[in-house]
Chains A and B, each alone.
Chain A
Amino acid sequence: MLVLARKVGQSIVINDNIQILVIEVRGDQVRLGIEAPRSIPVHRKELLEQIRAENVNAVASTDVETVTDALRKDSAES
């Protein structure tokens, strides 16, 4: 991993077409600005990990009877 130290207002350029700018540092939080082509997805890492974990959870819970009963209750209406 490449480790660089940046001050507020300084940037990092990746591959000529991605720029990360340090906008603000407040306490232990850094506000970053990211400029990248629209073709490149940019996401918070923990969100991706959360989604992966939830997908795995979702698959583990798929016993047909349990699922049908649970969802039947949820949609039970007149």
Chain B
Amino acid sequence: MDMRVETTRFGALEVDESSVVRMPRGPLGFEDQKEFCLIQHRPDMPFRWLQSTSDSALAFVVIDPAEYFVGYEIEISDLDAELLQLTCAEDSLVLVIVTVGKEGKTVTANLAAPVVVNSKTLVGMQIVLQDGRYLTQHLLLAQEERVSMENATAKAA
């Protein structure tokens, strides 16, 4: 079943219900935004857009952290797992929000607060990790330059 979503970046889109993520609590700073859809605007690009279904101008760029950060492991707290109705790790889809700096010169990913989606129920939320290793601005490196998490450095945008 399709849903019509207005977007400022891509015009009006028809999205499949299976790409609609419901968040009991919206992303931090956007707590009242509780419904988003995942859009793969460019099938040849490794990122997607997490687009609000109610605010046409609100969209985040998200990536699969496994593609860029070897060894990135998250621990989902009992509370968060419960809110997400997650019964096993395999059901979780982990995405991280990307920030593109001025003129596209730097690209960083927020590894401290990934967006976790239960792929079965499509309930998602941005979780705050207790792990102090991960920063809100981790520099993205080209795939051939991927380094293990111990060596990764963060750069302020």
Interface residues of A (CB under 8 A from B): 38-41, 43, 47-48, 50-59, 61-62, 64, 66-77
Contacts and interface: CB of A to CB of B under 8 A. Distances in A.
Contacts, number: 111
B142 A54 contact: no
A19 B57 CA distance: 42
Given A58-B60, A77-B142, A77-B143, A51 B104 contact: no
B47 A48 contact: no
26 contacts: A38-B77, A41-B77, A48-B28, A51-B126, A51-B136, A52-B28, A54-B99, A55-B110, A55-B126, A57-B99, A57-B157, A58-B61, A59-B58, A59-B59, A62-B49, A62-B100, A66-B103, A67-B104, A70-B105, A71-B98, A71-B100, A73-B104, A74-B107, A74-B143, A75-B143, A77-B142
Contacts of A47: 112, 128
Given A52-B29, A66-B103, A76 B79 contact: no
Contacts of B97: 54-55, 58
A66 B99 CA distance: 11
Interface stretch (B13-21, B38-46, B116-124): B38-46
A39 B79 contact: yes
A60 to B, nearest CB: 8
Contacts of A57: 99, 157
Contacts of A50: 112, 136
A54 B27 CA distance: 11
B128 A58 contact: no
B28 to A, nearest CB: 5
